[in-house]
Amino acid sequence: MALGDSVTTGGPCGCTPFPQLYGRLLAQVRGVSAHVRNLGLNGQDSGGLLARLQDDGSPESAAVRDADIDLVTIGANDFADQHDNVTAGRCSDAPTGDCVQDDLASMRGNLARIIATIHRLRGGRPTAVLVTGYWNVFEDGSVARRSFPRPGVEATQRLTEVTNAAVRSVAQRTGTTYVDLYAPFNGPESHGDTTVLLGPDGDHPNAAGQALIARRLLAAGLPGLVDG
């Protein structure tokens, strides 16, 4: 079961999204059949996902009840209203201070409730919940360098760092598995430049990026469901 935003849906990639790739890898490695439901929604933020999970009649809540494994990628769209301020490098200079602090706090709280709701829907049955971070909450690579001034590029990187730290903190506090994507997207497979793992929009993973996410999820194992 995959929940999240346009990263989960595959965005404009025109390729197989990572949940389906993950399911195939899982079946091969574990020797089991894997039925995948991808209920990601383009543009979805943490508040929207929480509302859908708390609606006992929604497709999301019904699917989670039946899912032994839940993949969650959410949070980047929580900052959409501040995109222009952040990418222009204006956010930290706003009169009210850092303009994303309220959004960050809201996202953190929503994510904790999302995880709690998943466990409530599962009714105590063994469940693996894998929550990913991001390589960047906004555009990255050559698109970002072309489109934004250097302070804006640096601001998106700082925002990504604090977003990932918040997601990791919630995961640790709730006994959930955090799957880092920042290091893999900036590692050997990209030669240190995420451009090769992103589509033309500089925002969504291309086929290689989607495959990398699937492999990182597989490497995280299935804590809460099986040992090893």
pLDDT band at 228 (very low <50, low <70, confident <90, very high): low
Do the domain assignments include residue 227? no
Q: Do residues 169 and 109 lie in contact, with contact meaning Cβ atoms separated by under 8 Å?
A: no
Do the domain assignments include residue 224? no
| Separation between Cα atoms, residue 144 and residue 138, nearest integer Å | 8
Mean pLDDT for the chain? 95
Percent with pLDDT over 90 in the chain? 92
pLDDT tens digit string along 185-203?
999 989 989 999 999 999 9
The dihedral sign for the CA sequence 166, 168, 170, 172? negative
Do the domain assignments include residue 23? yes
**Full residue range of the structural domain in which residue 159 is found:** 2-219
Q: What SS3 state is found at 76?
A: helix
pLDDT tens digit string along 133-169?
999 999 999 999 999 999 999 999 999 999 999 999 9
Q: How much of the chain is in helix, strand and coil states, percent to nearest 5? A: 55, 10, 35
Do the domain assignments include residue 121? yes
Ordered strands of the 69-73 beta sheet: 2-4, 69-73, 128-132, 177-179
Q: Residue-wise over 158-185: b if at least 16 C-beta within 10 A, else e?
A: ebbeebbebbbebbeebebbbbbbbebb
Q: Which of 111, 117, 135 is nearest to 18 (CA)?
A: 135
Question: pTM (2 decimals)?
Answer: 0.96
Q: Stretch 172-181: mean pLDDT, rounded?
A: 97
Q: Do residues 158 and 134 lie in contact, with contact meaning Cβ atoms separated by under 8 Å?
A: no
Predicted pLDDT of residue 94 = 60
Predicted pLDDT of residue 97 = 55
Has residue 96 got a pLDDT over 60?
no
Domain CATH number, residue 88: 3.40.50.1110
Q: How many structural domains is the chain composed of? A: 1
